[in-house]
Chain A
Amino acid sequence: MSGKFSEIWVYLAASPLLGLTVTLLAYQGAFWIYRKANMNPLANPVAISVAALVALLWFTDTPYPVYFEGAQFVHFLLGPAVVALAVPLYANLEMLKKNLLPLGGALLAGSLIAPISAVGIGWALGASRETLLSLAPKSVTAPIAMGIAEKLGGLPSLTAVLVVSTGILGAVLARGTLNLLRIDDHAVRGFAVGVAAHGIGTARAFQVSETMGAFAGLAMGLSGLLTAFLFPLLLRLWGG
């Protein structure tokens, strides 16, 4: 019996089927928990599924590359997903045209301050160069951030972890920060969350109001785009 089981295990461990299936199962389970928790930002589905999968790999002694053989099929979709961001961006074109100055100014300020503050603080506290390069694009949506980290010479997988952490932090901290600054316009609140905390912040904003979500989504797309073009420039100034 146990001989049969290990035979099956050897087969499964070598095929991409298992890695792909456990990724989808973990996410479905995590999303179920997130809904049960009334979409509390602390029950973030990405954080939960990553934790579950890390524990699974740890206990079964499975190396990450073996898991990734299967998970790469999900990972691959990041590219087309970035291209797909053009569609909501286009849908919000009118809104953008009407508010060109406030949105453009806020976008530029936010997209500059995010990497500068993160890298500045990390550097002051003694983070290594690779960590700083992985930290830099952490406010933009994961697929773009990982692409940027790769181009900069950071570690894309570390960036992914930092991006997810930033998204969760932004979703949790936004309300307090904005209340403290006495900002109650939902357009402004949404845009700020989208610039600072990308998709996870946007998902959160949509739960508060439609306006907030639309502005957050617009901010996510635009800041991703701007950061991708701004970064190489910033890095040259930094002397990298």
Chain B
Amino acid sequence: MLGTFTLLLVYQLIGEVLVRSTGLPVPGPVVGMLLLFVTLAARGSAPTWLRDTCQGLLSHLSLLFVPAGVGVLVHFKRLGAEWLPISVALVASTVITIGVTALVMRALQK
């Protein structure tokens, strides 16, 4: 577990450093993820210890956005003032995205 955690932090750190030094407009952890992916592909397999711990961490992914979600406190005013565009945009765009993605994939499968 400690090994996996260290590895993830090292990749994130490399990602952050690359983003800061090149001015890439992409979040540092995303670059870290890409680098880890490339490493695994080059290595030809993912070690079991890495797979197990990552699975553990990702199975609690939803816990990780609770602190930020509580930040809704700070946005009550904005949400109150803009509830209509926000809720219509969320519902409509979610349905549209599901529909378009599914239709395009089915069309290309044939």
Contact = CB atoms under 8 A, between A and B. Distances in A.
9 contacts: A49-B66, A85-B58, A113-B100, A114-B97, A126-B82, A147-B27, A150-B27, A173-B95, A178-B99
Interface of A: 23-24, 26-27, 45-46, 49-50, 53-54, 57-58, 64, 67-68, 71-72, 74-75, 77-91, 93, 99, 101-103, 105-107, 109-110, 113-114, 117-119, 121-128, 130-131, 135, 138-139, 141-144, 146-148, 150-151, 155-158, 160-166, 169-170, 173-174, 177-178, 181, 183, 185, 188-189, 191-193, 195-197, 199-200, 203, 219, 221, 224-225, 228-229, 231-232
- In this complex, the interface size class of chain B, counting residues with CB under 8 Å from chain A, is 35 or more
Nearest to B105: A106
Contacts of B2: none
A196 B98 contact: yes
Contact of A193 (B54, B64, B91, B98): B98
B17 interface: no
A53 B70 contact: yes
A54 B34 contact: no
A181 B102 contact: yes
Contacts of B103: 181, 183
Given A79-B12, A91-B46, A161 B71 contact: yes
A207 to B, nearest CB: 13
| Cβ-closest 5 pairs across A and B | A147-B27, A157-B71, A110-B101, A106-B105, A125-B85
B66 A74 contact: yes
B62 interface: yes
B89 A87 contact: no
B18 interface: no
Contact of B62 (A88, A109, A151, A200): A200
